[in-house]
């Protein structure tokens, strides 16, 4: 099992990073006390979950006492996100959100948070400054660092127009002008992936302009 611990400053992109890791197939858990991590991993292993990211932010500060021992024992890959103080101030002002520490002094809260999470930064395998990075760029850094890349999913399926096109389709192709193998007795029961069906369709020259157009526009 691969364990990633994601920590960092509030406003530095923890949510974006967590979502990026989820897109890469990681099972995410937020702010679980370190004392419970071993039990969590045992349960997830029994469920055949191979990749886990535990997100730790300042809200867990009162439960971090055993973290040094737990990190030494589990040896996770630690990612720490940070940003310049002036950038964090701007982000908070734009979002109108309160800092989790709730002290009423944002500059002091940012400094206190850095101090409270210093263990994670000091032990981090990867420190990312997000001051000048977009969420997309942050995701690319994570993919590169973890040696992973989000897969591209392509689903192709047929439908009957009398029932209407699928609502979740990104691209709908009307092929009613092409020869229909359904009306050929020997092909009627064969799936569209059968070589005989493909040969039947491509034997008709009517498909050529459609096929050329399909290759150049998709």
Residue 153 has what pLDDT? Answer: 66
The domain limits of the chain are: 2-146, 161-217
CA 213 vs CA 22, 196, 203, 218: distances in Å = 36, 23, 17, 9
Residue 151 has what pLDDT? Answer: 61
Instruction: List Cβ neighbours of 37 (8 Å cut-off, separation of 6 or more).
Output: 3, 54, 70, 74
Q: What b/e readout covers 85-107, taking b as 16+ CB neighbours within 10 angstroms?
A: eebbeebbeeeeeebebeeeebe
pLDDT tens, residue by residue, 109-164: 999 999 999 999 999 999 999 999 999 999 999 999 998 766 666 777 777 778 88
Which range, of 21-35, 130-144, 180-194, averages the lowest pLDDT? 180-194
Domain 2-146 has CATH 3.30.70.270: no
138 and 146 Cβ atoms separated by less than 8 Å: no
Q: What is the pTM (predicted TM-score) of this model?
A: 0.69
- Structure token digits, residue 159: 């439908």
In sequence order, what DSSP letters do the residues of 31-62 get, joined into one string? S--GGGHHHHHHHHHHTT--EEEEEE-GGGGG
């Amino acid at each position: 099992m691969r364990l990633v611990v994601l920590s960092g400053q509030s406003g530095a992109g923890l949510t974006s990073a967590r979502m990026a890791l989820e897109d890469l197939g990681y099972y995410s858990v937020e702010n679980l006390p370190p004392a419970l991590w071993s039990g969590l991993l045992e349960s997830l292993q029994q469920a055949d979950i191979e990749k886990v990211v535990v997100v730790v932010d300042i809200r867990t500060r009162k439960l971090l006492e055993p973290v040094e021992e737990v990190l030494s024992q589990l040896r996770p890959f630690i990612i720490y996100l940070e940003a310049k103080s002036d950038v964090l101030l701007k982000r908070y002002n734009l979002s109108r959100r309160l800092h989790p520490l709730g002290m009423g002094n944002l500059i002091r809260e940012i400094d206190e948070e850095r101090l409270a999470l210093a263990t994670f930064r000091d032990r981090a395998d990867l420190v990312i400054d997000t001051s000048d990075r977009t969420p997309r760029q942050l995701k690319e850094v994570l993919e590169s660092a973890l040696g992973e890349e989000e897969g591209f999913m392509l689903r192709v399926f047929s439908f009957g127009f009398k029932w209407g096109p699928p609502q979740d389709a990104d691209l709908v192709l009307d092929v009613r002008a092409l020869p229909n193998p359904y009306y050929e007795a020997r092909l009627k029961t064969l799936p569209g992936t059968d070589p005989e069906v493909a040969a039947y369709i491509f034997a008709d020259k009517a498909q050529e302009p459609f096929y050329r157009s399909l290759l150049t526009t998709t």
